[in-house]
Amino acid sequence: MDEARIVRNIRVVRRAKGITLEELAKLTGLTKGYLSKIERSGKAPPFSTLNRIAMALGVDVTFLLMEEAEDLEEDVKLVLVRKDQRKVVTTKGSLYGYQYEALAHAKPGKNMEPYIITPAFEETAVFQHEGEEFLYVLEGTHEFIYGDQRYIMEEGDCVYFDSEVPHTGRSLGPKRAKLLAVMYSYKRK
């Protein structure tokens, strides 16, 4: 999945819902100019910004990560995603070198977004967004930074936190860590 596809999906959903850039700016708290730059640049914004845009558009962030936009109104009670059906997003730019594997991308209208995340080794931008998160270290060592506190997490460790507090993390050691991350956003409209 490339960043240009993510940006295309933002534009497609925005236009399909009849939302102008100015209206989206008011809904997200971002400037119209910044949103326009995202749509023109073909570069996906940071994940926390992508999540704000998705919430303002009334869709799951994984919807924006899909190869092709699917039906927004479909009522799906259960989604089974096989390991070869995950949607993988790997970027070296705006998503800060993280690799995201969307685990429930086909379930519309959900409040939780489960991912497998492989963080970069470098300390990245700080994230801050509405909701709650759960991280579980599947492999490797992960340095988790929450507010002013730093935590070293090893395989099997987990943390649950309010994601409105600034947070970030990075892989430590000889290989990149692998995390199960579940992001919860308050009920979508």
In tens, the pLDDT along 155-188 reads 999 999 999 999 999 999 999 999 999 988 775 4
Domain ranges for the chain = 3-65, 83-184
Closest of 117, 121, 98, 108 to residue 64, by C-alpha:
108
- The string of pLDDT tens digits covering residues 67-123 is 555 555 455 677 777 888 777 765 544 455 677 788 887 776 778 889 899 988 887
Residue 189: per-residue pLDDT: 44
CATH of 3-65, one of 2.40.50.100, 3.30.70.1560, 1.10.260.40, 3.40.50.300: 1.10.260.40
pTM of this structure: 0.69
CB contact set of 116 (below 8 Å; sequence gap of 6+):
86, 100, 101, 103, 138, 178, 179, 180, 181
pLDDT tens, residue by residue, 22-44 = 999 999 889 999 999 988 887 77
**Which class for 82: exposed (0-12), middle (13-18), buried (19 or more C-beta within 10 A)?**
exposed
